[in-house]
Chains A and B, each alone.
Chain A
Amino acid sequence: MKNWIGAFSVIDFISVGILITAVAMNALRRLESCVKAYTLNSWLLSSLIAIVAFMMGETHLYIASFVTLLSKGILIPMFLRRIVKQIKVTHDVDPYISNALSLTISGILVAVVYTSLKEGIFVAGFSKNVLQISIAVIFIGLFIMITRKKAITQVIGLLFMENGLFLAGFSLTFGMPTVIELGVLFDMLMGVIILGIFTIQIRRAFASADLDKLTILKG
């Protein structure tokens, strides 16, 4: 019954989906779409965990999958949407470099990751590609943080990185103990709330949600 998972390479498909949603961030122009990309990314992550749980018959992974869906797939996106609404001036992403260049560099990043991790690390035993993809997602998340001006895009970049990290940890260790995962998720939730508040405060203090303005804080 579980053969279809291997036969259709479901796990690889889903993880490629995760990568594509991350790469797509580079091409999106509106903040709302970015939030959507992140939501999709989280759902894919959650379903990946669920499928691995099904394949391996690990009950505690179902919990992880469910909690991921709840927090990263529903709560955090809801919160992000509210922040985006509060930033009224413009909903443009407003990157430093053009989308084309940004896509190219992301592609190069993925290539670098794949060449460096050619061998792959086959620990948990469900896929060869997940580790590379997860690291690529981390890099792309970081890259988005670098090239976007708005504070809110920093938060989304950070969330992508976290999803990547989660995936990396998952592919290597087969899921951390539930307590730790819950802790990390709670941290994330708090982090997003705090960063969201910061974003709004930055906007209030500098009349702009751009982070370049923070340079004047330097002594």
Chain B
Amino acid sequence: MDPESYLYIGILFFLLGAVISLLPLPKVKNYTYILSSTGALSFALLSLHLLFATPRNLFSAQISSLFNLAFSGDAISGFFVLTISILTFAVSIYSIGYIRDLKNKGLMGFLFNIFILSMYAVVLSGNIITFLISWETMSIVSYFLVTFDREGKSAKAGLIYAVMTHIGTAFIIILFFLLYRYTGSMNFSDMKNLSSQIPENLRNLVFVFSIIGFGTKAGIIPLHTWLPKAHPAAPSNISALMSGVMIKTGIYGFIRISMDVLGQGPEWWGIAVIVIGAASSILGVMYALMEHDLKRLLAYHSVENIGIILLGLGASMMFKSNGLYTLSAIALIAGFYHTINHAVFKGLLFLGAGSVMHATHTKNMEDMGGLLKSMPYTGLFFLIGSISICALPPFNGFVSEWLTYQSLLLGFKSPSITSKIISPLGGAALALTGALAAACFVKAFGISFLGMPRNKHAENAKESSLSMIIGMGILAFSCLLFGIFPGMVLTVLQPVSFMLTGLYGTPYQQGSLLGISETFSTISPMAILITLIVMSFATIIFISSIGGKRKIVYGDSWDCGIPALTPRMQYTATAFTKPIRMIFKRIYLPRRELKVSYLVKPFFVKSIEYKGEITPFFDRYIYEPVIVFIHRIAERVKLLQSGSLHLYLAYILITLILLLIFGT
């Protein structure tokens, strides 16, 4: 079959899913998610066509003289379609079980399908107007999904999301307008060919606007403020999609404009992207560490991972402008590799968080604990997701972050002194990020899954339904697959790299060995896995052979002589992160209040009240002043709007008279 038919079949499945979800037939509604997962498969086949063939127009309809609804695909779109498809497939299956307890199931199924379809439309758009329509559809549908729960908090989160996303869109519209003005074309492919006509200053402006516009969607610091509010507010299957792929459409837009259409830029573009990436990754993971709300924690990790992706992409741009094309291709591949990895493991983690919330009815980690016993599968999959996001072998996060490190460390080959300095600094930032992420997930997994249950709900938690486990299982398996067979992902990435850098950019591969050059360093993820397995068996055999026959004795945990252990004696999430809070107190600006009231001072304490919080720096020192300023201006302007109809009419009359007098 030709790619077009896959496209139509896919669209048909999603539309059908959306429509039957609204029908008042409870039995039929359950098929919504089966339809959407089938649709995702169809799109996955389309993506393979797009990746391994020349760019082609998929659909085109001239609606008016200016507006041509056109979808086209090339390797970049193909890659993003594939990413969306993988996650959609798993999340659809997960949703079958997850939505059972939701109110308003029909609306959910409808929005779910339209949301996914709009994301596909964004990455397949062939011209700027189609792109904007798809982009806005995606934003609006996701707004409705954020406010789906209709609680007080989600309404506010939705508002912040809507405002931020529209600010971003404003910048995107301006940059599209600039591109159109100087190239005279609305098609991305024509723009790319004609982009050399754009004056240098305007190219820089377009680049900056694309960082701001698409960065708002992607959630780079300091434009991330909506992300930790909106993602937790949405239902978990939607959070998985939003965090896993929706923010990637921001990355897609950035790549499409800054790397594809504009082509090669000056060195400072790459450096700017690396700096933004480094800042996003470090600050993202730092704020994640301080979160005790499981979903907010994951949302901050999305900021971090977007930073890591940008580190790869920035390095690629920088190397390209320095003429190091091979290195540029490898850095690009690292960035793309992390894009698909993040979609998979962050999707998995959000689904895991969804299952946990489903079982415990709370997002707060301090109320969980001991869930591994009651939810073994969810626990296992969450652990796999955690290991992946911490970039530990043998899972996928390791490979992409390792590639990013390697390409950044090889920056010393660059002829320019700035990039020689910047790239190892980027590597250092990535190293710090990795370490903090590991700490964060020790906390996230340890506090919620290990130890004793901290309340009734956690104690009575039940394992999720089969479809939810299967949904998570698919993603967990993908994490492992992408981790030990990097060659598979690299095959998919080569056409993308060829399109953007002109080189296939294959990292050095021999057998199972993976490296970025024969001389620098190589790893073999497969060998690492085998070593891990062999070593653990060897350890067991070694210990049992040395220690002789052992007897297993079950006893209580040592409790310092106190009659019984209670959950309140456990390490809390706040306590766990205290050392980090102290080390980085310049960044967190923690505030604490301790109120102690005594019966007899200082020996008999009646009550202790402790309050601690970190300063939300960006909200307080960047966004709040702006909001206050706008409010103040609005107050002034409000005087004009008195509410009196007669006054409004008088404005019109005065304007008309002035026009008549001065206009003639």
Within the complex, what minimum Cβ distance (angstroms) separates A110 from chain B? 12
Is the Cβ of A215 less than 8 Å from the Cβ of B643?
yes
CB–CB B641/A146 < 8 A: no
Do residues B649 and A116 form an inter-chain contact, with CB atoms below 8 A?
Answer: no
- Bound Cα distance from A211 to B642, whole angstroms: 13
Chain A residues whose C-beta falls within 8 Å of the C-beta of B645 in the assembled complex:
154, 211, 214
**Which residue of A112, A117, A145 is within 8 Å of B649 (Cβ)?**
A145
CB neighbours of B650 from chain A (8 A): 146
A142 pairs with B656, CB closer than 8 A: yes
Shortest CB-to-CB span from A75 to chain B, Å, is 26
Expressed in whole angstroms, the Cα–Cα distance for A2 and B664 within the complex equals 35
- Contact flag A116-B660 (CB < 8 Å), given A142-B649, A146-B649, A147-B646: yes
Contact B643 A139 (CB under 8 A): no
Known contacts A143-B653, A146-B649; A113 and B644 CB within 8 A of each other: no
Interface centre among A109, A139, A145 (most CB of B within 10 A): A145
**Interchain CB contact (< 8 A) of B657 among A96, A112, A147:** A112
Decide if the interface of chain A is mainly helix, strand, loop or mixed. Answer: helix
Cα A216 to Cα B643 in complex, Å, equals 8
Bound complex: CA of A138 vs CA of B652, how far in Å? 12
Give Cα A139–Cα B643 distance, bound, in whole angstroms. 22
Shortest Cβ distance from A215 into B: residue? B643
Q: Using an 8 Å CB-CB cutoff, how does the interface string of B636-664 with A read, 1 for contact, 0 for none?
A: 00000111111001101100110011001
A108 to B641 alpha-carbon distance, docked (Å): 27
Q: How far is the CB of B201 from chain A (nearest CB, A)?
A: 44
Distance, CA A113 to CA B656, complexed state (A): 11
Chain B residues within an 8 Å CB radius of A212: 644, 646
Indicate whether A217 reaches chain B with its CB closer than 8 angstroms: yes
Complex: chain B residue closest to A216, CB-CB = B643
Across the interface, do B664 and A117 meet the contact criterion of CB distance under 8 Å?
yes
Q: Which of B606-664 contact A (CB under 8 A)?
A: 641-646, 649-650, 652-653, 656-657, 660-661, 664
Residues of the B chain whose Cβ atoms lie less than 8 Å from the Cβ of A215: 642-644
Asked whether A135 is an interface residue with its Cβ less than 8 Å from the other chain, the reply is yes
B643 and chain A: residue at smallest CB distance? A218
Tell me whether B643 and A146 are in contact (CB under 8 A). Answer: no
B660 touches A113 (CB 8 A): yes
Measured between beta carbons, the chain A residues less than 8 angstroms from B664 are: 116-117
**CB-defined contacts of B653 to chain A, threshold 8 Å:** 139, 142-143, 146
Q: Which A-B residue pairs are the 8 nearest by beta carbons?
A: A218-B643, A215-B643, A146-B649, A116-B660, A142-B653, A211-B645, A146-B650, A145-B649
A-B contacts, 14 of them at CB < 8 A, read: A109-B657, A112-B661, A116-B661, A135-B660, A139-B657, A142-B653, A142-B656, A146-B649, A146-B653, A154-B645, A211-B645, A212-B646, A214-B643, A214-B645
Chain A residues with CB under 8 Å of chain B are 96, 109, 112-113, 116-117, 135, 138-139, 142-143, 145-147, 149, 154, 211-212, 214-218
Q: A112-B660, A117-B660, A218-B641 are in contact. List 8 more A-B contacts (CB 8 A).
A: A113-B660, A116-B661, A139-B657, A142-B652, A145-B649, A146-B646, A215-B644, A218-B643
